[in-house]
Amino acid sequence: MTRNKIKNANSEAGNAKVKLVVVLVILFLIAHAGYQYIPVAYQGEYFKQEMQTAVVQGMSVPAGIQPLDMVKGKLKKAILENDIPTDAIVQVKPVNNSVMARVSYTKQVNMLPFGIYKYQYKFDNTATPTGFLFKESVTPN
């Protein structure tokens, strides 16, 4: 009877090693996906803040400077700094005594190694000025 227990214990040890390898592979895949996705998502969120800052600063430009040109210039600079694709759709237009900016792009993220699975990160954000600058620029009816 003790021989059967020893044989079973030896075969169970192999199963534990296989399970450990499977768990380590799964953890590696999750870590790799996070390593690839988190910087892209962070750049997208940071770019949203840059867009918001650009439209608010566009509302507070001194006389003689076109708000649209200033916002476009700030967005171009932010696009270069945040590794935004060059084919991004950028729209800046005046709306009700203010400036509205919209940027849209898609970026591929290699979630699994060797390009097995690629995620399409889609960014589409519209920024309009908020806060005290916008409230002062609105004329009451």
Give the model confidence (pLDDT) of 16-29 as tens digits.
888 999 999 999 99
Are the C-beta atoms of 125 and 51 separated by less than 8 Å?
yes
Give the model's pLDDT for residue 140.
41
Q: Which residue has tokens 């290699």?
A: 110
Give the model confidence (pLDDT) of 112-139 as tens digits.
988 899 999 999 999 998 766 555 444 4
Domain boundaries, the chain: 2-137
CA distance 78 to 82: 6
Residues ≥6 apart with Cβ < 8 Å to 51: 75, 78, 101, 103, 125, 127
Give the model's pLDDT for residue 134.
56
Give the model's pLDDT for residue 141.
40
User: Taking the complete model, does pTM exceed 0.85, yes or no?
Assistant: no
Are the C-beta atoms of 98 and 71 separated by less than 8 Å?
no
Give the model's pLDDT for residue 59.
82
Please give the radius of gyration of the chain, using alpha carbons only, rounded to the nearest integer: 26
Segments of the chain scoring below 50 in pLDDT: 136-141
